[in-house]
Structure 1
Amino acid sequence: MIVIRVFVLFLMLSSHVVADVCATDDNGVELCLPGPAQRIVTLSPGATELAFAAGAGE
């Protein structure tokens, strides 16, 4: 039980770290953003509902 509490605490503390966000696309090109994305685009109503359920609409 203590391991779960430590893990949850670690997740809560690490979620507020501001750093470069990098991703590599299918062509191998690396894209780095200076911070988290401000907007997202969904291509289906179901994906939009999932994004709002995850807190993207706030």
Structure 2
Amino acid sequence: MLGDVKLELITPFKHFDPNYILNNAAYDLPLVLISVAAVIISVAGSYWLYSRKDMRSAV
């Protein structure tokens, strides 16, 4: 189970591997794009959920 390529896509620990960055002087672009997409989807989803909430004011 360890060393499985599928886990690299799910966990962010391999997305920003310091050894890879130092050796290649670059990020692993496909994995970074997955991270950026996850952040954008999370922010958009949380904004959408928040905008649907019907919160009463305290006044």
Per the TM superposition, whether the score is higher than 0.5 is no
Q: Which has the higher helix share?
A: 2
Greater C-alpha radius of gyration: 2
Q: Which has the higher contact order (CA 8 A, sep 6+)?
A: 2
Q: Which has the higher strand share?
A: 1
